[in-house]
Amino acid sequence: MRRPILLLISLLTATAHAAGPAPEIISPQVKATVEKAVSWLLKQQQPSGYFSEQKTNQAPRPGDVPSHSAAMTALAIMGLASVGHLPGNPTPEGAAAERALKFIVDNVEPDENGYLGRSDRSRMYGHGIISLMLTEMLGMSASEETDKKVRSMTERAIKLIIRAQQVPKSEANRGGWRYEPSSSDSDISVSVWQLMALRAAKNSGIEVPKEAIDNAIAYIKRSYRAERDSNGQLKQMEAAFSYEPYGGRQTFSTTAAGLLSLQVSGQYDVPEVIGSSNWLIKFPPEVNEPWFYYGCYYYAQGMYQRGGDHAATARQKTEQMLVGAQGAEGSWSPRNGNEKSAGPVYATSLALLSLSVYHHFLPIYQK
């Protein structure tokens, strides 16, 4: 049985067992916003299959593709899939997603250890993003050959994530990841992509040691910055996650990343989830702040997982911000700091993921 059928069954099951009232109908304004974004994104697909606003007819060389092209294409595939455009669908959008997936499996050459972040110089950020996408696309291609390549790349990529976690690290950094597989330190922005990929792989039936996920969860929790008493118990129920354990900046993006990653790991009601979601109610995101699109994706999905007033507040805020910030042609462009250099394919893909919380097409985001 192919995975789209399994996915449909899981969606129907999730719908049948969902608690509380049915989700609100997607507004015509948001629907039009999503359609414009998808239309714009498809126009950015290059002849070889990857997504980039930099037009070129030059074919990439396998193993040496344009900088960050694989990571950005992986985000675009997930953005399209999150609103229902899956590889192999008999539509222009499905065909575009299929070509993008084929670009990755044909041109991104893992090294001898399965590392995917070297071909496009996206490092462990890219490795985690590509691994998550591949895991979510298992069984979704129209081509058996592509499916086989996806599975092979995924299994090796997940093993690389596990090996990179096992590099000797200090107590503070243990369980996390950073820029390269050999890094001896960790940060939350790299670590959450790896944890999401591990959880998606485990959900897909790929063997993932329990201790790998447990150690990652412990690392994320060490980045939570609430005061504790002498027994280690939290003294406040409203706090942020920081960029690194016991220090570093505390922002809406790091907080939202911690919130979502714990919940996809099954940690729905732990104090760190309750406290960070309360903090995000008090300090919601704004379009002009650093790493807005990256953070908005985690914010929208994480607060949706939280449910209730948190989900309703975040949905209204996310839709208001993104509808207002969309360009006339359908894209979004980062406005601040290092994120600005990532470009509109990056921002538009993450915006689609942020607006897709009620579609449930990607298994990792299902409750």
Q: What is the pLDDT of residues 246-285, one digit of tens each?
A: 777 889 999 999 999 999 999 999 999 999 999 999 999 9
Asked if 243 and 258 count as a contact pair (C-beta separation under 8 A), the reply is no
pLDDT at 76: 98
Radius of gyration of the chain (CA): 19
pLDDT category at 192 given cuts 50, 70, 90 is: very high
- pLDDT above 80 (res 233): no
Rounded mean pLDDT of 280-309? Answer: 95
The H or E element containing residue 292 is helix 292-306
pLDDT at 360: 53
pLDDT at 232: 67
Q: Closest Cα partner for 263 from 217, 313, 296?
A: 217
Asked if 165 and 212 count as a contact pair (C-beta separation under 8 A), the reply is yes
For residue 223, what are its two tokens?
Answer: 């980045």
Asked if 134 and 75 count as a contact pair (C-beta separation under 8 A), the reply is no
- pLDDT above 80 (res 45): yes
pLDDT at 343: 95
- pLDDT above 70 (res 215): yes
Asked if 86 and 133 count as a contact pair (C-beta separation under 8 A), the reply is no
pLDDT at 249: 84
For residue 303, what are its two tokens?
Answer: 């607060």
Strand partners of residue 241 = 224
pLDDT at 362: 53
- Residue owning tokens 């449930």: 360
**In whole angstroms, what is the distance from residue 344 CA to residue 350 CA?**
10
Fold of 3-11+24-236+324-365: Glycosyltransferase (1.50.10)
pLDDT category at 366 given cuts 50, 70, 90 is: low
Decide which of 57 and 339 is more confident. 339
DSSP, collapsed to helix, strand or coil, labels residue 243 as strand
pLDDT category at 14 given cuts 50, 70, 90 is: very low
Q: What is the pLDDT of residues 62-103, one digit of tens each?
A: 878 999 999 999 999 999 999 999 998 999 999 999 999 999
**In whole angstroms, what is the distance from residue 80 CA to residue 187 CA?**
28
Q: What is the pLDDT of residues 108-157, one digit of tens each?
A: 999 999 999 999 999 999 999 999 999 999 999 989 999 999 999 999 99
- pLDDT above 80 (res 5): no
Q: What average pLDDT does the structure give for the chain?
A: 89
Q: What's the full length of the chain, in residues?
A: 367
DSSP tag of 45: B
* Exposure string for 28-38, b = 16+ CB within 10 A, e = fewer: eebeebbebbb
Strand partners of residue 224 = 241
pLDDT at 365: 54
Weakest mean pLDDT among 10-14, 151-155, 205-209: 10-14
Write down the domain spans for the chain.
3-11+24-236+324-365
| Identity of the amino acid at 51 | F
pLDDT at 307: 93
pLDDT category at 57 given cuts 50, 70, 90 is: confident
- pLDDT above 70 (res 359): no
Number of alpha carbons in the 13 Å side-chain half-sphere of residue 275: 19
Cα-based distances in Å from 286 to 142, 206, 290, 298, 366: 40, 38, 9, 14, 26
- pLDDT above 90 (res 182): yes
- pLDDT above 90 (res 226): no
pLDDT category at 11 given cuts 50, 70, 90 is: very low
